Amino acid sequence: MGGVPISLLTGPANAGKARIVLDDVRARARRGEEPLLVVPTGADVEHYRRELAEAGLVLGVRVERFAGLMAEVVRRAGGARERTLSPLARERVLAAAIAEVHPSAAFAAGPGFVRALASFCATLQAQRVAPARLRRALHAWAHDGPPGRGERARELAELFEAYRRLLRTISRVDPERQAARALDALRESPALWGGTPVLLYGFDDLTPPQLDAVETLGRVVDAPLTVSLTFEPGRLAFGGRAGTFQTLLPWAAEHRHLPARPQYYAPAARTALHHLERELFELGGERVAPGGAVRLLEGGSPRAELELIAGEIRALLERGVPAEEIAIVHRSPETVAELLAEVLRDFEVPFAFARRLPFRDTEVGRALCGLLRVACDGSGGLAAGSLEDLLAWLRAPGLLPDSTARGDGRDLADRMEARARRAGIESAAQARALWESEHWPLQALDQIQAAAALAADGRPAALVERIARELEWLFAAPARGTARVLAGEELEQARALMLGRRALTELAELARSAPQLAPGPAELVGILEGLHLPRGEPPGAGAVAVLDPLALRARRVRALFLCGLQEGTFPAPGRPEPLLSEDERRELAQASGLVLAGAAGEQSLAVERYLLYASLSRPQELLALSWHTAAEDGETTVPSLFLEDVCDLFSAQLRATCVRRPLGAASWPGPGPPAALRAQREPVLGGARRAPPGIAPLRDPQLLAALREQRLWSASSLEVWAGCPVRWLVERLLRTRGLDPDPEPLARGGLAHAALRDTLAGLREQSGSARLTPASLGLARTLLHEALTRHADSFPLSVAPERVPGVRRRLEADLERYLEHAAAAESPLEPAHLELSFGFDEDELAALDLGGGVRLRGRIDRVDLSAAGDAVLYDYKGAQAPPADRWVAQRSLQIALYMRAVEQLLGRRALGGFYQPLAGRDLRARGALAADGGVALECVRGDVREREDLDALVGDAVQLAREAAAQADRGELQARPDTCAFGDGGCMYPTICRCER
């Protein structure tokens, strides 16, 4: 062993350690030693490369993360030729090991267990624990343990042995074992390193493998090595980092402890911020005034909290503070990523936030996973594919040919989705059959299914290779033949392609090396859906950085906003070791001497205290602490107790000046949103409330001309316009249709109409009369059941198969009750016309001329004739039948208009018209009957009217219909919520009408 050249540099966060380390780097570079500066994060690498370059030092020094240092160790030790194991390959190897060992139910082979086992194996490999050593240690641990421990110990040992065995099979080495081998090689041959100085800056803790590297390079290789550690003995804030310091201290030939230096803070903020850094978590300290350097922000909800922060940042930017000198820190920033990004964009705050986007959330990823689920529908352990899976694939850009002006072909998928959802189709198999019945065969699905079969029959890589080709095809499809430069979201798709192709290439190689590593369809989908690609930009010039507490350890900012200070968030709750708890690892060490380093304690309160200290010590001018008092759903949340630790250091002024924005508050304390956003929010921010503009009349000349040319109306269409022109616009002109299946009452009504028509027609054919009488009731029942069976397929009563029998039986019972009711009444009229239609192209009867150029077409459910040839009309309804005195008021014009049609088109005198309910407790028809017609029918009191009243009623209905058509000609679109759809008033389409009642 050489002269132990390790130099340990410690001190609090603002002790000037960076200056000393960088001065050392520059001095060594000038002497030609080519030092290696190691910093914690990628952003730190860029920061210090830039700082050294600005000082003229571009060549002769390297800045790397610790992973870069280890890569250099491996290269110099001669291990670079080894093929290392990626995290994805490790999970495949461990999954195969689990399948080989067949663990008990305690070790369910889900993703969580595989990740836990990966961490366990990485620890063993880094500590150079051989399988035999682990088996002996676990056996000793289990010898006197509780029941079941022996089985657990055996399974853990066998899993590790299987893992190591599979690594030899595929000729791979995991990164931990590669690093350990490289360090061992340097221990055996120190000259391999070559004496390059190594300087570590910005670290507050080191993992066991990192400590191994420090010891090897400094104590064995004799490389000049400086470790800068943020640590101060005796302070509670550093309690979670004492173990690393105590490990390093005996190794150090020199230990320099630097005192705190208040000059790193801006003069106006120095007293408050330096006091905070020195006294955090210390007892009995004095209280000082915050002086505007420390502020509190309280939001009534997560959005309100983040908007307060965004407003404060906008004010700083407007005062000239560079965006890169501002940071937002959150304990788990990925949990607020979407909301925070939305708020910052709304407030026009430039920001940099390196996030991870799931591969399945990209267009190509979503399409590829959907394709795989549909093609391998229910096979290989995969759940049955769904309609959504097929649509995800069909909607991939460029997959379907262009068919509309939109130019992407996805309208074909939209139409298929509408038809499928209206038919209640949910499975991928049914959706595929629907597509292929109207379009072309989806051969790619069969090809992937064939590849899956090949993979199961001796060609393990076949499925993965086929999916890789599909991925490349999906990416290239929208740009095929254009040779354009990718930009914007296309770059995100390119990153998804690279990520997916890299994963699939590795899976194919693994499958060829060891068939048991080939993923089946279910595993392949899980792997693809578990991939994540980087999204957003890392911190840089011109952008506010969004970071976690450790990402800012090696740099300072002028203003820092520490948000999300909630109990359960910061401090974060502890996470126990998943395989062997801390207590079990302690017992293992006592029983066998094998000490396994674990992650336990990384989430302990001591470490959370240090994370708070690391965050609070970074700002130079302003520190703002924020929290919210309620979740988005209004549930009360509890602020972090860390806030009390901070407030205990300052006078009452800190709490008194807290900026609060309660949940639902209209006012805006402090700096508000930008002008554009404030204008949007003016109605709720205390400005004059302005009603939204109502919908305007139609003005387009072409549309108005088309409306005037289309003079052929249906009774129901006129009713809808009379009730609400906007509803007519949406339902009759735009013809929008929902994606939900047709309501059951609609299908029930269609089947009831068809069944009654066939029943009465069959009754006339077999008995000579369609009249329902007690004598013909039995035959009518038989004919009814036959008609219901005959038309069942044409009118599906429900998209849920389990509901069909019940709905069908209920309809049968209702129609049987109606037949019994009609037979008991013994009407003297003869049903002469069943579903009499007029005005359609195929009809013998022309359209009805209502006057003023308005023509009517329609279909009358039933026209009964008296012995004198006079007519009484019936229109079937569900359970509600409006009385005649409400026809005009409720815009129920149909039966009155049909009475006019019978008179003009058939030449029959219309004695009356009725709406006939087919369900409900009261089956009596409601309508109007002429008192002098010579026909005696059982009527509700008030439905028998004088002829003059009946004619006036029909005339009023015709006049209302003509006026509705004339309004349509003029484009007089207006909202009528009082008569739109509901008896008590109510708008069917409020976002289109923009009306307020």
Query: How far apart are the C-alpha atoms of 569 and 302, rounded to whole Å?
Result: 13
- Residues 704-749 have pLDDT tens digits of 887 777 679 999 999 999 999 988 988 888 877 776 776 778 889 9
According to the model, what pLDDT value does residue 89 have? 94
Q: Residue written as tokens 């972090």?
A: 640
DSSP annotation string for 316-350:
HHHTT--GGGEEEEESSGGGGHHHHHHHHHHTT--
Q: Rounded mean pLDDT of 399-421?
A: 75
Residue 107 has pLDDT above 60, yes or no: no
Lowest mean pLDDT among 1-15, 385-399, 797-811: 1-15
Residue 314 has pLDDT above 70, yes or no: yes
Query: How far apart are the C-alpha atoms of 829 and 827, rounded to whole Å?
Result: 5
Contact 206, 214 (CB under 8 A): yes
N-terminal to C-terminal alpha carbon distance within the chain: 89
- Beta strands 854-865 and 848-851 are antiparallel
According to the model, what pLDDT value does residue 82 have? 84
According to the model, what pLDDT value does residue 235 have? 92
Q: Rounded mean pLDDT of 973-980?
A: 84
- The DSSP code for 636 is B
Residue 830 has pLDDT above 90, yes or no: yes
Q: Rounded mean pLDDT of 134-144?
A: 92
Query: How far apart are the C-alpha atoms of 947 and 960, rounded to whole Å?
Result: 20
According to the model, what pLDDT value does residue 878 have? 84
* C-alpha dihedral (105, 111, 116, 118), degrees to nearest 10: 120
Residue 383 burial (CB count, 10 A) = 12
Residue 71 structure tokens: 């890569």
In the sheet with 326-330, reading across from the earlier edge strand, the strands are 351-352, 544-547, 326-330, 557-563, 619-628, 294-299, 659-661
How many secondary structure helices (H) and strands (E) does the chain include? 35, 23
3-state secondary structure 117-137: HHHHHHHHHHCCCCHHHHHHH
- Residue of 518, 529, 599, 517 whose CA lies nearest to 94: 517
Residue 333 structure tokens: 């920033």
Residue 883 burial (CB count, 10 A) = 15
Long-range interactions of 267-272: CB distance < 8 A, separation 24+:
268/292, 268/293, 268/621, 269/293, 269/619, 269/620, 269/621, 269/622, 272/650
Query: How far apart are the C-alpha atoms of 937 and 935, rounded to whole Å?
Result: 6
According to the model, what pLDDT value does residue 554 have? 72
Query: How far apart are the C-alpha atoms of 334 and 326, rounded to whole Å?
Result: 19
Query: How far apart are the C-alpha atoms of 104 and 107, rounded to whole Å?
Result: 6
- Beta strands 351-352 and 532-535 are unpaired
List the Cα angle 268/11/63 in 5-degree steps: 95
- Residues 449-496 have pLDDT tens digits of 999 999 999 999 999 999 999 999 999 988 777 767 777 778 889 999
- Residues 360-387 have pLDDT tens digits of 999 999 999 999 999 998 887 788 999 9
- Beta strands 926-930 and 910-917 are antiparallel
Residue 750 has pLDDT above 70, yes or no: yes
Residue 649 has pLDDT above 90, yes or no: yes
Read off the pLDDT band of 904 (50, 70, 90).
very high
Residue 532 structure tokens: 């994540």
Q: How far is CA 45 from the centre of its chain?
A: 33
According to the model, what pLDDT value does residue 105 have? 40
Residue 684 burial (CB count, 10 A) = 12
According to the model, what pLDDT value does residue 974 have? 87
Contact 71, 91 (CB under 8 A): no
- Residues 494-518 have pLDDT tens digits of 999 999 999 999 999 999 999 999 9
Read off the pLDDT band of 599 (50, 70, 90).
very low
Q: How far is CA 16 from the centre of its chain?
A: 45
- Residues 329-350 have pLDDT tens digits of 999 999 999 999 999 999 999 9
Q: Rounded mean pLDDT of 86-101?
A: 91
- Residues 553-592 have pLDDT tens digits of 778 899 999 999 999 999 998 777 788 888 889 899 999 9
* C-alpha dihedral (722, 728, 729, 735), degrees to nearest 10: -160
According to the model, what pLDDT value does residue 106 have? 43
Read off the pLDDT band of 984 (50, 70, 90).
low
Residue 794 burial (CB count, 10 A) = 10
- Residue of 444, 460, 437, 465 whose CA lies nearest to 376: 444
Residue 977 has pLDDT above 60, yes or no: yes
Contact 759, 787 (CB under 8 A): yes
Q: Rounded mean pLDDT of 635-652?
A: 95
- Residue of 895, 868, 869, 865 whose CA lies nearest to 881: 895
Query: How far apart are the C-alpha atoms of 392 and 385, rounded to whole Å?
Result: 11
Q: Rounded mean pLDDT of 830-845?
A: 93
Which residues, in sequence order, are bridge partners of residue 864?
831, 872
Mean pLDDT of all residues belonging to the chain? 89
Query: Residue type at 488?
Result: G
Residue 798 has pLDDT above 50, yes or no: yes
According to the model, what pLDDT value does residue 163 have? 96
According to the model, what pLDDT value does residue 680 have? 67
Q: Rounded mean pLDDT of 106-127?
A: 81
Query: How far apart are the C-alpha atoms of 83 and 796, rounded to whole Å?
Result: 61
Contact 45, 65 (CB under 8 A): yes
According to the model, what pLDDT value does residue 994 have? 66
Residue 785 burial (CB count, 10 A) = 15
Query: How far apart are the C-alpha atoms of 741 and 747, rounded to whole Å?
Result: 10
- Beta strands 294-299 and 659-661 are parallel
Q: Rounded mean pLDDT of 9-28?
A: 92
Query: How far apart are the C-alpha atoms of 919 and 818, rounded to whole Å?
Result: 8
According to the model, what pLDDT value does residue 697 have? 86
According to the model, what pLDDT value does residue 691 have? 54
According to the model, what pLDDT value does residue 600 have? 42
DSSP annotation string for 779-814:
HHHHHHHHHHHHHTTTS-S-SSGGGHHHHHHHHHHH
Read off the pLDDT band of 978 (50, 70, 90).
confident
Q: Rounded mean pLDDT of 907-926?
A: 95
- The DSSP code for 905 is I
Read off the pLDDT band of 955 (50, 70, 90).
very high
